[in-house]
């Protein structure tokens, strides 16, 4: 069996690596992939729905697994389904659960899924009037896709007005901020919860803890994720049943009843546990990044088998098995570096998630010999003169494995200390409890 994984970063590497370890899979192809993934998995440079379909036909692939939300919201699953090529992921219409936060909040309010108090605005003046009059801190969220960075947590009305300006006036995330959702800020335990689903049944994945802020102690700007670990200390049947009964199943059924179509693929719930109630913060329609890098290594059931159970609507027929080992992912990000043009210094790049430099040589990876360490490559490319170089904000995911969280942390941090590129920055508190 040949499998095609559509992705270009660390999540895609983790998905492709999981398929590569399946004895039932003959070859894995990743598109567009990156220079790091290409060290162990064949990569092809197809970047449009049509180009990816052409690649799949040429290579006679038996299964396609979609990573990024942008391809899903652009209808790639519909295209492959029309061509009768097995594909994992929700349709374009079903992807609205991530494509529009406003749609999802309104749906949840109607079907009774717990969400924070919220209002929706398409006019920045009205939005500012609202935050200046409510008596509690808020979170301002871009309605559309913003690469996981469209939620701005605010402590007071001044910060909220600034966030509204950034999203709706300055349009830092483009048209994604044309409409915003403003919701009451909740305080509790924030976790990421994932499910496989065939539109009828759900199969829960392990619980992961993600770290969104750029710096230690949850300080700095929101990022796509600076690290993660799994299992979470709250992982267990009690929490799984609570989230399944209060959020996941009502959402799957509510969407099906509202739209008349099933939601199939990966369901990613961002939750805040407040006094034993799981409030839904956001829905994503794909695996998280960096959560995939610590969840997929725990998967014992072949991902190939699960994929066809989802496609064929028989997910409930076989239990998905997981290991009890711990995994900790520390992201090596592009930090502060000089801007140089024509050999002259032009100031500084402040670093991810703001502007960052590219093309810095990466060294030290070859020194990591620990069998309990796995590196998933994200923002990297090849240079004829320099070799492997940085090419993104999140450069590497350094994942440690252990019998407990401390062992996994030790492996990850011991390994990342061997790596160097100009401006390398990473949080020191991933998995520290």
Contacts of 247 (CB under 8 A, 6+ apart): 113, 114, 193, 269, 271, 278, 280
39, two tokens: 């060290």
- The 3-state DSSP class for residue 56 equals helix
Contacts of 37 (CB under 8 A, 6+ apart): 12, 13, 16, 30, 43, 377
Distance from C-alpha of 304 to C-alpha of 302, rounded to nearest angstrom:
5
At 192 the pLDDT is 85
Nearest CA to 192 out of 124, 243, 127 is that of 243
At 393 the pLDDT is 97
Q: Are 352 and 394 in contact (CB under 8 A)?
A: yes
**Three-state secondary structure of 194-263:** EEEECCCCEEECCCEEECCEEEHHHEEEECCCCEEEECCCCCCHHHHHHHHHHHHHHHHHHHHHHHCCCC
Nearest CA to 142 out of 200, 102, 196 is that of 102
At 392 the pLDDT is 96
Distance from C-alpha of 12 to C-alpha of 68, rounded to nearest angstrom:
8
Distance from C-alpha of 200 to C-alpha of 256, rounded to nearest angstrom:
9
What single DSSP character describes residue 143?
S
207, two tokens: 């619980």
At 221 the pLDDT is 86
- The 3-state DSSP class for residue 375 equals strand
Residue 387 backbone class (left: φ over 0; alpha: ψ -120 to 50; beta: rest): left
At 433 the pLDDT is 74
- Domains defined for the chain, CATH in brackets: 2-89 (3.40.50.20), 117-184 (3.30.1490.20), 189-317 (3.30.470.20), 326-425 (3.90.600.10)
> Do strands 151-153 and 219-222 pair parallel, antiparallel, or not at all (unpaired)?
unpaired
pLDDT by residue, tens only, the chain of 433 residues: 999 999 999 999 999 999 999 999 999 999 999 999 999 999 999 999 999 999 999 999 999 999 999 999 999 999 999 999 999 999 999 999 999 999 999 999 999 999 999 999 999 999 999 999 998 999 999 999 887 778 899 999 999 999 999 999 999 999 899 999 999 999 998 888 999 999 999 999 999 999 999 999 999 988 989 999 999 988 999 999 999 999 999 999 999 999 999 999 999 999 999 988 999 999 999 999 999 999 999 999 999 999 999 999 999 999 999 999 999 999 999 999 988 777 777 789 999 999 999 999 999 999 999 999 999 999 999 999 999 999 999 999 999 999 999 999 999 999 999 999 999 999 999 999 7
427, two tokens: 């949080």
Distance from C-alpha of 428 to C-alpha of 433, rounded to nearest angstrom:
12
Write down the pTM of the prediction.
0.93
Task: Give bridge partners of residue 397 from the DSSP assignment.
Answer: 331, 376
């Amino acid at each position: 069996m040949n499998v095609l994984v559509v992705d270009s970063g660390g999540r895609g590497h983790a998905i492709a690596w999981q398929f590569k370890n399946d004895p039932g899979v003959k070859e894995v192809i990743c598109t567009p992939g990156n220079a790091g993934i290409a060290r162990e998995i064949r990569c092809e440079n197809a970047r449009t729905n049509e180009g990816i379909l052409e690649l799949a036909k040429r290579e006679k692939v038996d299964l396609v697994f979609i990573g990024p939300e942008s391809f899903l919201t652009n209808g790639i699953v519909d295209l492959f389904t029309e061509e009768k090529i097995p594909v994992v992921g929700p349709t374009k219409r079903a992807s609205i659960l991530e494509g529009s936060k406003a749609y999802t909040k309104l749906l949840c309010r109607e079907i009774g899924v717990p969400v924070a108090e919220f209002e929706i605005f398409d006019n920045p003046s009205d939005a500012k009037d609202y935050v200046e009059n409510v008596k509690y801190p808020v979170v301002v969220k871009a309605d559309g896709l913003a690469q996981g960075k469209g939620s701005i947590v605010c402590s007071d009305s001044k910060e909220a007005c600034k966030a509204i300006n950034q999203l709706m006036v300055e349009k830092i995330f483009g048209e994604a901020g044309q409409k915003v959702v403003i919701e009451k800020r909740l305080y509790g335990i924030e976790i990421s919860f994932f499910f496989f689903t065939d539109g009828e049944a759900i199969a829960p994945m392990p619980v992961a803890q993600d770290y969104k802020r750029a710096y230690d102690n949850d300080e700095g700007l929101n990022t796509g994720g600076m690290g993660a670990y799994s299992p979470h200390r709250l992982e267990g049947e009690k929490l799984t049943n609570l989230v399944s009964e209060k959020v996941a199943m009502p959402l799957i059924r509510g969407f099906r009843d509202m739209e008349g179509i099933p939601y199939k693929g990966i369901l990613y719930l961002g939750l805040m546990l407040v006094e034993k109630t799981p409030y839904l913060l956001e829905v994503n329609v794909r695996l998280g990044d960096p959560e995939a890098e610590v969840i997929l290594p725990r998967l014992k059931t072949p991902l190939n088998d699960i994929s066809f159970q989802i496609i064929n609507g028989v997910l409930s027929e076989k239990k998905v098995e997981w290991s009890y080992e711990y995994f900790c992912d520390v992201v090596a990000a592009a930090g502060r570096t000089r801007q140089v043009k024509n050999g002259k210094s032009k100031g500084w790049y402040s670093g991810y998630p703001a502007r960052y430099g590219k093309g810095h040589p990466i060294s030290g990876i070859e020194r990591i010999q620990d069998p309990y360490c796995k590196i998933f490559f994200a923002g990297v490319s090849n240079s004829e003169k320099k070799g492997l170089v940085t090419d993104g904000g999140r450069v590497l995911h350094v994942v440690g494995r252990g019998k407990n969280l401390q062992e996994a942390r030790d492996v990850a941090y011991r390994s990342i200390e061997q790596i160097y590129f100009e401006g390398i920055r990473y949080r020191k508190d991933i998995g520290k409890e």
